[in-house]
Chains A and B, each alone.
Chain A
Amino acid sequence: MRPLDEKETAAVFEKLFKFTGPNLKHIVERPAVEGPDDPPGRYCFRLHKNRVYYASESLVRRSTNVSRARLAGIGTCIGKFTHHGSFRLTVQALDLLAAHARHKVWLKPTAEMSFLYGNSVLKSGLGRITDNVKSGDGVVVFSMTDVPLGFGVAARSTQDCRKAHADAIVVNHQADAGEYLRNEAEL
């Protein structure tokens, strides 16, 4: 387990920034809830076995007691580096993203299931969308009852959505909560 080097940090933050925008600051500077420190420590990113973890400083300190080979993971896994060195967010980052997301999409109840099976969001399934989404922005997908379901990349802007056909793709799928079942082994 080691801190991210500069290149890796840039890659991770770039990805997170797509989803959270200026709220990225809040993710980094968030005071930790666990640990004995009185001014609560911060959360930090750690790389372990090609996976990036988001964990509080006190937890990181305590985890040093475990040998690297035996450490399965600490904190929350938010993504992994592929063999090519690019960073990819995984579904475990959903909670973090949902809390700080800038662009959101709410799905109609009929479209939830389709999205949870790994399909993209169509215009017909769109219940609500935040203003000012541009194509290429990271979007967090919610159900109408505000349960985060997954996230993806906007395929078209809010403006275009208005005129779009009912079958047009609005959000390209990246990760959804269904992966916990489908890809249980990999996660």
Chain B
Amino acid sequence: MGKKKKVILPPELPQEVADDEVEVSDEDVDFVRENLKYAKFLTKLDTNSINRHVTRVADHKEDELEALYEKRNRKAALLKSKEEDERYVDPVDALPIKTLDGELQYRTAKGSKSGDITNENKSASWIKDSEKDTGVVKLTKAERRLKMKKSRKEAKKLAEEETKVDPAEEKLHSEVLAKVEEDLSAEELFAKKKIRLAEVGMALIENPESNIKSLKELLQICDDDDHNIVKLGLMSLLAVFKDIIPGYRIRLPTEKELEMTVSKAVQQTRSYESTLLHSYKAYLQKLITLDKQPTFHHVAVRCMCSLLDAVPHFNFRESLLANVVKNISSSDDVVRKLCCEAITSLFINEGKHGGQATLEAVRLIAAHVKFHDCQLHPDSIDVFLSLTFDEDLGKSESKEEKVKHKKKRRWQNQEGSNQVQGSDRKKARQELMVKTREEVNADFKAVSFVPGSEERRRMQSETLSAVFEMYFRILKHSMDPSVSRSKVNAVAASGASGSHPLLASCLNGLGKFSHLIDLDFMGDLMGCLKKLAGYSDHFDGSSSESCLSVSERFQCCLVAFRVMRNNLDALNVDLQDFFVQLYNLLLEYRPDRDRGEVLAEALKTMLWEGKQHDVQRAAAFIKRLATFSLSFGSAEAMAALVTIKHLLQKNSKCRNLLENDAGGGSFSGLVVKYQPEAADPNLSGALASVLWELSLLAKHYNPSISSTATSISSMASMDPAQNQVYLSTTSPLQAFKDLSIERELFKPTGKPVSLNRKRMRGKDFVIISPDEVQKVENTIDEEEVKCRLEEHFMVLRDIAENERLRGELNHTLSSIKLYKEYKRQKKQRDTSNT
């Protein structure tokens, strides 16, 4: 026990116990022999540390000393318990420890243990990711623990003493450190540094005011050669900064202010703040430089993102933002995701920074997009979807102000009437009061963190204009054929995202913020969308082959409709060109290639929700959708059928399509025959056709589709006068989603059903097990077939020959019979004659 204990608890060996008094058990001796390495390590360390401890302990006052001892004891107990849990149970160790002051210590020091463990956990959580790849320490657990214990103690002492360092000790200290460092192997150093980090970090978080200086030390640690240490240092600094950065922006005092004499407390705060700010700046600079090195890229980005997330109000936000935005379209998924999340949280938690950062971020991203010529990852634009714009902002405020003004005026008027009677002195005093009140208000406004509604309104509109400017830039860019063509080759290799990676998310954004678009932009926007959707005037001659995918073109139509619908309550504009586009796009839709939801949504917004349609157009769409639903999956078919139903309900004249005779009567217009391939729904002459598709669809394998088709075909009997008796409640999008879910569910059950069907059919025909068929197919070769056939036909020929001969025989026999008969009759006649 003795020797081991000496190692672990150097202060406990002191003076009283002489060496020969210590009883050394046999097991201990064995252990030491077995692990000579330990012993060596001990002997080297012993002199230094013990010397130092003794001298240091002597410096302490009485009660401090006591506290120190108690602390150590507890530590010892903790160590012991841990050791016993995991390693081997030394029978001597298992006994309670008798300390110097005669106290028996059992292994019950849970409280302190948990405290310590949290420390470790904390550092461990920072370490986690880096430790995974590199931190595999090859020492045994126990060994490492010993060393850790040792170094941690030293570190703790260092930290404790740091506030009142006197030079002599410092010297000693550094000497000791130097020696220790020589001795320790690389792993030990690593562990030591790790622990040092943890200690300093904890101390900082516990009491930032007094320990603020140690930020510099942490920063120095980050200059280490060891990559892992640097990473750990960055992470722990991040945690520290997150914790100690105040909820306000620090403004360094001006020179004039510095000259003024101030109280001690103010002085202290100032120095604290300036230190914090300087080290924060240094930290950021370090992050930015490290960001460029591939090994530290992830860590640096993670640090910056979480800083941006946690303290967007603090100084140096601009550089932080600039760096995060720079990485927002990184090809590395992790980095990109981190950055996007940081920006999104910036947008969502506007209260943290009062909206200013949002504006900056949006501008930066817009500039980024411009710089990269719109060739970015769509994620970088998708963050805008989390922007929120408060429309009511300012409106109510201004009203209130007006009311206030009125009240104020009234009040002032009253006051004025009073003042006439009041003396001059009173007047002066009142003026003074008003003045001071105004001043206080102004100060409050300047100081208070939340900007006024006016300010917020201004910022919001600026943000909005930046966002739309960027969206329009992307649109313009994707419209420019020369650019797209030159880029197509480059991008074609890179992936399937097409030459306009940003377009889809740009369209999403436009759809979302469509209600905020200014009317003046509307015309241009519509023109852009129309071109993008692939519409070209026939007389232009230049058929603009659009390189957009069908889904994207659907989306263009969709966005155009949204924009129109959201803006034009007053005027009902009929977007004919987009209808033409949709009509033609339906033909190009491929279930697997294109996104069905977009189609369903387009159907919903354009046809299902649209208020009025031409009869011709509605009929054309009905006919085309019916044809369409025949050839596609059940989900798309369902969406189409729901739309058809809705259109038929709204347009009673279109129910002519359900009648049994083609021709369409007087409604059919100038086009008498249905032209399925016409590009213009108005000229397709769909009213002259009959919806035969429905009777086919009524036999659809999916029961819901067949029932819908049947219900649609029964609409013919509805009284044409009674319009819109009941309107279906499910939208195409809803129907599509329902059925696509159903399809997912249907897949596993599909097999047994088909088997059943086969069996049912099997009863009608000859049952041949597939195995037999295969056998037969396999065994018979051509030769054999030839032989068999030959035989077969031989037999057949023989049979035919046989039959022929028989017939001949019969014939001869009968003729012989006849001849005999004739002879006999002749004889009789002759005899009768004679």
Contacts and interface: CB of A to CB of B under 8 A. Distances in A.
B573 A128 contact: yes
B522 A159 contact: yes
A22 B571 contact: no
The 10 closest A-B pairs by CB, nearest first: A22-B538, A128-B572, A99-B670, A130-B574, A22-B539, A130-B576, A131-B575, A159-B523, A99-B669, A33-B672
Nearest to A99: B670
Nearest to B617: A146
B663 to A, nearest CB: 11
Given A99-B682, A162-B519, 15 more contacts: A22-B538, A22-B539, A23-B680, A25-B538, A26-B683, A104-B576, A126-B572, A128-B574, A128-B612, A129-B574, A131-B526, A131-B577, A132-B577, A159-B519, A162-B568
B568 to A, nearest CB: 7
A26 B530 CA distance: 23
Given A21-B539, A99-B682, A146-B615, A127 B572 contact: yes
B537 interface: yes
Interface in A150-171: 158-159, 161-163
A59 interface: no
Interface in A129-183: 129-132, 144, 146, 158-159, 161-163
Interface string B571-613: 1111111100000000000000000000000000000000010
Contacts of A131: 526, 564, 573-578
Contacts of B683: 23, 26, 99-100
Contacts of A162: 519, 568, 570-571
A59 B333 CA distance: 72
A30 interface: yes
Interface in B653-688: 669-672, 680, 682-683
Given A21-B537, A23-B680, A129 B670 contact: no
B788 to A, nearest CB: 56
Given A21-B539, A129-B574, A96 B522 contact: no
Contacts of A19: none
A123 B492 CA distance: 50
Given A22-B539, A131-B573, A95 B615 contact: no
A127 B578 CA distance: 19
A30 B522 contact: no
Contact of A96 (B526, B538, B670, B672): B670
16 contacts: A30-B671, A95-B670, A99-B671, A100-B682, A100-B683, A104-B574, A129-B574, A131-B564, A131-B574, A131-B577, A146-B615, A146-B616, A158-B573, A159-B522, A161-B571, A163-B519
B614 interface: yes
Contacts of B612: 106, 128, 144
A24 to B, nearest CB: 9
Contacts of A102: 576
Nearest to B667: A146
Nearest to A142: B614
A22 B526 contact: no
**Interface range for A:** 20 to 34
A146 B612 CA distance: 10
Point out which of B539, B578, B682 has the most chain A C-beta atoms below 10 A from its C-beta: B682
Interface string A7-35: 00000000000000111011000100100
A161 B538 CA distance: 26
Contacts of B576: 102, 104, 130-131
Contacts of A159: 519, 522-523
Contacts of B670: 30, 95-96, 99-100
A2 B578 CA distance: 41
Nearest to A162: B571
A52 B77 CA distance: 115
A30 B671 CA distance: 8
Contacts of A25: 538
A15 to B, nearest CB: 16
Contacts of B573: 128-131, 158
Contacts of B578: 131
A6 B522 CA distance: 41
A132 to B, nearest CB: 7
A147 B683 CA distance: 16
Nearest to A103: B576
A166 to B, nearest CB: 10
Interface string A98-136: 011010101000000000000000000011111110000
Interface in A53-109: 95-96, 99-100, 102, 104, 106
A161 B522 CA distance: 13
Contacts of A30: 670-671
Nearest to A127: B572
Contacts of A144: 612
Contacts of A33: 672
Nearest to B523: A159
A127 B614 CA distance: 13
Nearest to A163: B519
Interface in B478-531: 519, 522-523, 526, 530
B714 to A, nearest CB: 25
A170 B36 CA distance: 104
Contacts of A22: 537-539
Nearest to A95: B670
A130 B671 CA distance: 22
A158 B576 CA distance: 13
Contact of B572 (A95, A100, A129): A129
A161 B523 CA distance: 12
A162 B563 CA distance: 14
Contacts of A99: 669-671, 682-683
Contacts of B539: 21-22
Interface in B546-582: 564, 568, 570-578
B526 A132 contact: yes
Interface in B684-729: none
B618 to A, nearest CB: 10
Contacts of A132: 526, 530, 577
A96 B576 CA distance: 19
Point out which of B526, B670, B671 has the most chain A C-beta atoms below 10 A from its C-beta: B670
Contacts of A26: 683
A144 to B, nearest CB: 7
B526 A146 contact: no
Contacts of B568: 162
Given A95-B670, A162-B519, A129 B537 contact: no
Nearest to A129: B573
Contacts of B522: 159
Contacts of A161: 571
A33 B682 CA distance: 18
B650 to A, nearest CB: 12
A102 B612 CA distance: 17
B159 to A, nearest CB: 72
Nearest to B571: A162
B534 to A, nearest CB: 15
Contacts of B672: 33
Point out which of A23, A131, A161, A162 has the most chain B C-beta atoms below 10 A from its C-beta: A131
B606 to A, nearest CB: 13
Point out which of B522, B570, B572, B574 has the most chain A C-beta atoms below 10 A from its C-beta: B574
A144 B577 CA distance: 20
A95 B538 CA distance: 22
A12 B573 CA distance: 29
A22 B744 CA distance: 46
Contacts of B564: 131
A145 B578 CA distance: 21
A21 B577 CA distance: 13
Nearest to B540: A22
Given A21-B539, A99-B682, A159-B523, A126 B669 contact: no
A5 B519 CA distance: 47
B669 to A, nearest CB: 5
Nearest to A25: B538
Contacts of B671: 30, 99
A18 B537 CA distance: 14
